[in-house]
Amino acid sequence: MKFNSPQTLEQIATLIGASYVGAADFPVLGMNEIHVVQPGDIVFVDHPKYYDKALQSKATIILINKEVPCPEGKALLISDDPFRDFNKLTRHFNPFQQAQNSIAHTAKIGEGTIVQPNVFIGNHVKIGKNCILHPNVVIYDNAVIGDNVIIHAGTVVGSDAFYYKNRSTHFDRLLSGGNVVIEDDVEIGSLCTIDRGVTASTIIGKGSKLDNQVHVGHDTVIGKQCLIASQVGISGCVVIEDKVTIWGQVGVTSGITIGSKSELLAQSGISKSVSENKRYFGSPAIDARQKFKEIAAIRALPEFIENMKKKNE
């Protein structure tokens, strides 16, 4: 998430009540999660296990809960609770805006686009040409939808990320300040849920097709011309490359990459990154041919055991 205007290290420190290491006028351009940070961004870290990853990332401002040696060319914001203060920054730079109408006056809708009854379109949404939004579709603030997109009834685009910190007494939600980007020629079935990014964009690539009841987690990037069947659940921060096919009831864990032109067979559990141009099956999923051989071997076990008994009699 980039700020509307550049800030300084001192301004940000004052805003959240933190101390800092670095020049007071050190430039701060935005804030992002670790997997999408760029120079000028703030990234937060609150566990020693991840200090090095944050300090060595592309981010140039590290919001951290301990003063540590600052890498050259970077700055630190020292906070007793970086998670809380990251939320403060999201709330300040991207505050929640209450809806005033079912279709916001700031929304931009392209020529030839059909909006059926009871559709909600939030603030600053951009929708391209020749789209169809069927009844009861909900498009949250700041979503960007391309041309020739079809979204079927009951689908929700842009709900908050499922991202919580486990406090001693409750779960503390990380506020979502990102959005959803749906590129041209995408079709989305009924009752799908697509979460927005925490600080960046959840993206569905050009020409991809989603069946009914598909869930796409925050900051996931789906490539071009992918096919995703019903009841697939995709966690946050997943990268699905181009021309991937995912069949029904597949579950995909967070932070992994699905290689291009791969095929994930129904009811598989994808627990780690998978290579391109291969078929996978099972839970945890492995190469489909290997899995089918294992299943065949297990089915043959009773006969094998019986034959061994006869042989030993």
Give the structural domain span for 244.
108-289
| Torsion from C-alpha of 245, 249, 253, 255, nearest 10 degrees | 30
SS (HEC) of 68-95: CCCCCCCEEEECCCHHHHHHHHHHHHCC
Q: Are residues 63 and 197 in the same domain?
A: no
The reply to whether 228 falls in a domain is yes
Verify that 48 and 71 share a domain, yes or no: yes
**296 domain-assigned:** no
> How many domains does the chain divide into?
2
**Is there a domain that residue 295 lies in?**
no
112 lies in the same domain as 88: no
Q: Is 313 contained in some domain?
A: no
Q: Clarify whether residues 32 and 141 are in a common domain.
A: no
For residue 103, the 8-state DSSP code is B
Tens-digit pLDDT profile for the chain (313 aa)?
999 999 999 999 999 999 999 999 999 999 999 989 999 999 999 999 999 999 999 999 999 999 999 999 999 999 999 999 999 999 999 999 999 999 999 999 999 999 999 999 999 999 999 999 999 999 999 999 999 999 999 999 999 999 999 999 999 999 999 999 999 999 999 999 999 999 999 999 999 999 999 999 999 999 999 999 999 999 999 999 999 999 999 999 999 999 999 999 999 999 999 999 999 999 999 999 999 999 999 898 888 888 888 787 7
The yes-or-no answer on residue 170 being catalytic is no
Q: Is residue 24 included in any domain, yes or no?
A: yes
Sign of CA dihedral 79, 83, 88, 94: positive
Q: Flag whether 303 is in a domain.
A: no
* DSSP H helical ranges for the chain: 9-16, 51-55, 82-93, 288-312
Q: What is the C-alpha to C-alpha distance for residues 47 and 203, in angstroms, rounded to an integer?
A: 29
CATH code of the domain in which 204 resides: 2.160.10.10
Residue 100 in domain: no
Are residues 260 and 216 part of one domain?
A: yes
Same domain membership, residue 151 and residue 257: yes
Nearest-angstrom CA–CA distance, 110 and 310: 76
Residue of 134, 152, 215, 218 marked active site: 218
Residues 138 and 285 occupy one common structural domain: yes
Residue at a domain's end among 35, 59, 93:
93
Residues 12 and 122 in one domain: no
Measured CA to CA, the distance from residue 157 to residue 162 in angstroms comes to 14
Q: Final residue of a domain: which of 41, 63, 93?
A: 93
87 and 156 co-located in one domain: no
Residue 211 belongs to some domain of the structure: yes
